[in-house]
């Protein structure tokens, strides 16, 4: 979590095999978008909500979160193969 945004896991109850997080302002007043698995790229990606604007600190935080969660997911999948 950073000074401006937080990630809150969302349970969609739709049979997904991967996790989804809402990206919110730290005060919880604005939903900025979602981080979810993008199968074409085989990694987590950020889908911003319309009319949202981001500066580099927030973008870097979101990118780092996506990268971290992708690594966690792939490590878990690798561990299941052995």
Could you state, in order of their start, the residue ranges of all structural domains in the chain? 5-81
Q: Which one, of 44, 39, 42, lies nearest residue 63 by Cα?
A: 44
3-state secondary structure string across 24-46? EECCCCCEEEEEEEECCCCEEEE
Q: Which tokens belong to 43?
A: 């990694």
21-76 pLDDT, tens digit each: 999 999 999 999 999 999 999 999 999 999 999 999 999 999 999 999 999 999 99
pLDDT digits (tens, 9 = 90+) for 29-40: 999 999 999 999
Q: How is residue 64 written in tokens?
A: 């780092």
Neighbours of 2 (CB within 10 A): 14
The residues near 50 (Cβ < 8 Å, ≥ 6 apart) are: none
């Amino acid at each position: 979590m950073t000074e401006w945004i937080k990630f809150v896991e969302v349970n969609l109850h739709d049979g997904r095999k991967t996790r989804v997080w809402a990206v919110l302002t730290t005060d919880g007043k604005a939903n900025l978008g979602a981080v979810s698995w993008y199968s074409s790229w085989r990694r987590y990606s950020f889908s911003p909500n319309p009319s949202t604007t981001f500066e580099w600190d927030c973008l870097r935080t979101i990118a780092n979160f996506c990268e971290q969660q992708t690594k966690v997911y792939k490590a878990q999948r690798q561990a299941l193969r052995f």
